[in-house]
Amino acid sequence: MSLKTAIQSAAIAAFTVASSFEKSMAIVKNTGNPTYDPATGIMTATTTSQTFNALIVNYERDETDGQNVLLTDAKIIFPQSRITGTPITTDTLTIDTVSWDIKNVITDPADATWTIQARRA
């Protein structure tokens, strides 16, 4: 087993232990170009949604700058194996029926977890 695989396994095990603190959410990914219906004048986006559990952590005051990272932003942390594909800033999260914009996505060096900076839409 490589070091990277061992770290990924350890991250998954840690999230299993912390599962009682996790919250259910959905990531909504745009999967194609929006279509326009000239009869109704409505643009319709093509999306897919995946539901998963993640930890939600508040940013500490020293992690914020008042512009790029706000105190009201949420830090969403979860194993990469919980969703298909890579989250990007055009995706959104839905947590308790509230939509959150993805502002930044970071992976750890072992590609075990995603850390998403999210802001209420």
Could you report the per-residue pLDDT of 88-97, keeping only the tens digit for each? 999 999 999 9
Average pLDDT, the chain: 91
Please, what is the Cα angle at 120 between 116 and 121, to 5 degrees?
Answer: 110
- Name the CATH superfamily housing domain 3-120: Bacteriophage SPP1 head-tail adaptor protein (2.40.10.270)
Average pLDDT over residues 2-14: 81
Do the Cβ atoms of 71 and 77 come closer than 8 Å? no
What's the whole-model pTM score? 0.80
What pLDDT, on a 0 to 100 scale, did the predictor assign at position 70?
Answer: 97
Per-residue pLDDT tens for 59-103? Answer: 999 999 999 999 999 999 999 999 999 999 999 999 999 999 999
How far apart CA 35 and CA 103 sit, in angstroms, is 25
Instruction: Give the start-to-end residue ranges of the domains of the chain.
Output: 3-120
